[in-house]
Chain A
């Protein structure tokens, strides 16, 4: 082959390199516009009146006092909703504004628009709602048999999974019941947005979300408008982690803008944010594992119950994940697993990073340690003996056709040398300087855990993403409605475009419903695969068009042409044209990318419901002050199956960040709910890890085994770090304390064995 002379090699990073974020500079200078930074001339402020009761009948709502306040432009209730009063992510069961009944503390009852947030506050206080308070249903175990709190009933979904020979019994059996508290996503950027009435009678909304098109479709139905008159544009998103999959203020802002004919901005306070979005499902899980005396897993039995709170949200999919992945990444010939998610008058629960697999990982990994102890076997050896491999069958009957390097993630994680250095600084003790009862009593524990999860949407959902590639004058513009929530999609979009087209400059157009089709949700670790795939295909289509055009215009053989580093060259070496010169006339491709089909599970929970799976392991080292119950996580090590590493720097960030959320759930994060009331709706009382709580996170290995069918072979990496991290930390706490610790988060009172609610 003739040497190809590249006159202007593309220097910007491509696939596999640590590309800097295109939104990095505006984010460090303060110039980046988050949804709470939006501003418009003549803008009003919106606010929401929320129910103080978890369960009540509404007898009347009097808005006259609020309307009389100077500066108030609108006070709206359910009677002002022109379309459907109900919305919902999977099915519409939640009122835009409560009409006759409220089902959780914080449910929206009325909305206000006024000239100043303080006027809004006064107007909200002036609305008189006559509630007939009823006894809330707060016990998920009692929910199914209880009087329905919603016309759709209290059982949201039950899955029964039966796999293999149901008569198998193991010589060794271990049992355990585990509980997981309610975790909050605690993204930093509060729910916020700006709605503008349009001249055609429609409305525009600038908002932070995970899925623009789903939001738009849900809101349009409630507004009684055709979807094309409801235009949603992504505004800067300050983190999401699942909590922005459901609507919050979207419909309210649109209603207020349409009603007042003016731009309306709304920003939730932190307290309101805790009431205004779904949380991670609390779980109660019973397990029994059967094994032979050699440590071969034979059968698993489990009963899982998740508290869905007042409305369904994505609970149906969460319980499916929890049930299908209940036993972890192990080959088990027989299973009997029941999973239920029920309605209560507790805060609604829905998507959060790890989506059902976090709760069950805590259960199955505790069981594996218990089983190892019963067998007198090393817990790592027990796991390695039973790990899933490619070609193995899941408990759903599905054969893993892709990569499954479970043994590799476990081995690389546990064999990674610890870099722990004993600090003599008192600040590094559990509780910090001066807060440890007796430094001599500190005990150290170490343990590991492994977990896995499906990537992409499952059970027959027609999951796709859309992207447009426009190439002119050597500059590519990508339009995709994928929500950048911090995970780094914008970086990857540029890397993929450069990789395929060899262009230096890639412009990312705003994500908006008006300009491009749906990208699906930024969830389920799916956007690298789905929107990454859509961009790859759109760029490839443009490349093909370009080569065909050049071949025709310059009478060169199409098969002899390649596009490399900003040049179109012939392999024979007798033709060369710069990309810029070849694209004075624009080229464009609009692509919809679908993943391989999946199927719903049958009545036994069997079926090819998932596309692909990713695996991660964590090893945790903890120090515990047994006198005060204080805990310090001193080191975490992780390995993850990534398929192929597309941007090492961003991948490290995802692993460290997901791990910190797992640490939070293990030792400090819980939305405390008493009789349906959230008791800690603030960052004063809901604790997330600070820099002093987080240990160094060692990345032992990125296991790279390219996934067949995935664009560039890459697996999504966002969720696995938050799955095995909690289980590893809790296992290390068990190792240190020799206590059972069946409840997560582990509280100081659990360690010192006091009743937490002794008062």
Chain B
């Protein structure tokens, strides 16, 4: 296997990736090499959104990106959504609204919703449903998740007003 050595900037911190096979996905490198397992591995073919991360501010499925192509990019994972020991508004809202059950889809949903609210802090129901339709959740039926988005959006509007 062709191996390589490169640097990834994740959550504002530089990580050395040593002796990595260049065929490894960003999701695999984050989870298995960098000790950042927050992005989840549910389908690994870009269908479920569990591995959603940001690369240079765009939300992508970490499973569809080769890690080596993300060199020189700013990568943000669920672990970087809030400073350590603190919770972002969307994270608080998920707990408050009961949007977490097994929690496997939760990190990907939070990354997606955080980005949605950044661009639109007053999304209507259908806009939210469309925005998260690439993130599958098998436990909740989405009702509590939609409730959490409403809560977080309200908090964000209040914080910026």
Contact = CB atoms under 8 A, between A and B. Distances in A.
A691 B43 CA distance: 18
Contacts, number: 184
B103 A428 contact: no
A270 interface: yes
Interface stretch (A151-159, A365-373, A492-500, A651-659): A651-659
A237 B45 contact: no
Contact of B101 (A18, A39, A653, A690): A653
Contacts of A486: 101-103, 139
A361 interface: no
Interface string A411-431: 000000000000101011000
A18 B98 contact: yes
Interface string A83-95: 0000000000000
B132 A691 contact: yes
B41 A652 contact: no
A29 B78 contact: yes
Contact of B130 (A187, A241, A427): A427
B63 to A, nearest CB: 10
B98 to A, nearest CB: 4
A657 B140 contact: yes
Contacts of A64: none
A167 interface: no
Interface of A is mostly: loop
B82 interface: yes
Contact of A427 (B43, B94, B103, B126): B126
Contacts of B48: 188, 683
B60 interface: no
A395 interface: no
B6 interface: no
B54 interface: no
A657 B139 CA distance: 5
A694 interface: yes
B15 interface: no
B133 interface: yes
A237 B47 CA distance: 20
A684 B47 CA distance: 6
B154 to A, nearest CB: 18
B101 A657 contact: yes
Interface in B85-121: 87, 91, 94-96, 98, 100-107, 110
A691 B142 contact: yes
B156 interface: no
* From A118, A186, A694, residue with most partner B Cβ within 10 Å: A694
Interface in A207-235: none
A652 B23 contact: no
B65 to A, nearest CB: 17
A333 interface: no
B12 interface: no
A39 B35 contact: yes
A731 to B, nearest CB: 20
Contacts of B87: 25, 28-29
Nearest to B105: A188
A250 to B, nearest CB: 19
Contact of B40 (A189, A656, A691, A697): A189
A118 B138 contact: no
Contacts of A684: 45, 47
B96 A190 contact: no
B100 to A, nearest CB: 5
Interface residues of B, number: 59
B105 A29 contact: no
B23 A37 contact: no
Contacts of B137: 188, 691
A692 interface: yes
Choose among A240, A427, A486, A650 the residue with the greatest number of B CB atoms under 10 Å from its CB: A486
Contacts of A118: 1, 21, 23
B102 A188 contact: yes
A697 B79 CA distance: 32
B38 A30 contact: yes
A699 B137 CA distance: 20
Interface residues of A, number: 64
Contacts of A116: 1, 21
B43 A238 contact: no
B143 A697 contact: yes
Contacts of A696: 143
Contacts of B130: 427, 691-692
Interface in B44-90: 44-45, 47-48, 50, 77-79, 81-82, 87
A23 B101 CA distance: 9
A185 B94 CA distance: 24
Nearest to B130: A692
A39 B98 contact: no
A39 B102 contact: no
B42 interface: yes
Contacts of A396: none
A599 interface: no
A34 B141 contact: no
Contact of A691 (B32, B38, B96, B133): B133
A427 B126 CA distance: 8
B50 A28 contact: no
B102 A485 contact: yes
Contact of A690 (B32, B44, B126, B133): B133
B47 A683 contact: yes
Contacts of A188: 40, 42, 48, 50, 102, 104-105, 136-138
Interface in B1-54: 1, 21, 23, 28, 31-32, 35-45, 47-48, 50
A269 interface: yes
A602 to B, nearest CB: 39
Given A28-B91, A29-B79, A188-B104, A656 B142 contact: yes
B138 A688 contact: yes
Given A188-B104, A691-B145, A694-B142, A30 B82 contact: no
Nearest to B37: A37
Given A39-B32, A189-B40, A683-B47, A653 B140 contact: yes
B97 to A, nearest CB: 8
Q: Tell which of A31, A270, A488, A656 has the most Cβ of chain B within 10 Å.
A: A656
A78 interface: no
A656 B142 CA distance: 8
Contacts of B136: 188, 683, 688, 690
Contact of B138 (A31, A39, A241, A653): A241
14 contacts: A30-B78, A31-B38, A39-B32, A185-B138, A188-B42, A486-B102, A486-B103, A653-B139, A656-B142, A658-B141, A661-B138, A688-B136, A691-B132, A696-B143
Interface of B: 1, 21, 23, 28, 31-32, 35-45, 47-48, 50, 77-79, 81-82, 87, 91, 94-96, 98, 100-107, 110, 126, 128-130, 132-146
- Which 9 A-B pairs have CB atoms at the shortest separation, nearest pair first? A30-B38, A486-B102, A27-B103, A238-B104, A660-B141, A656-B141, A30-B78, A683-B47, A37-B37
Given A649-B98, A684-B45, 13 more contacts: A28-B91, A29-B38, A29-B91, A30-B38, A34-B37, A187-B138, A189-B40, A241-B138, A653-B143, A656-B141, A659-B141, A691-B128, A691-B137
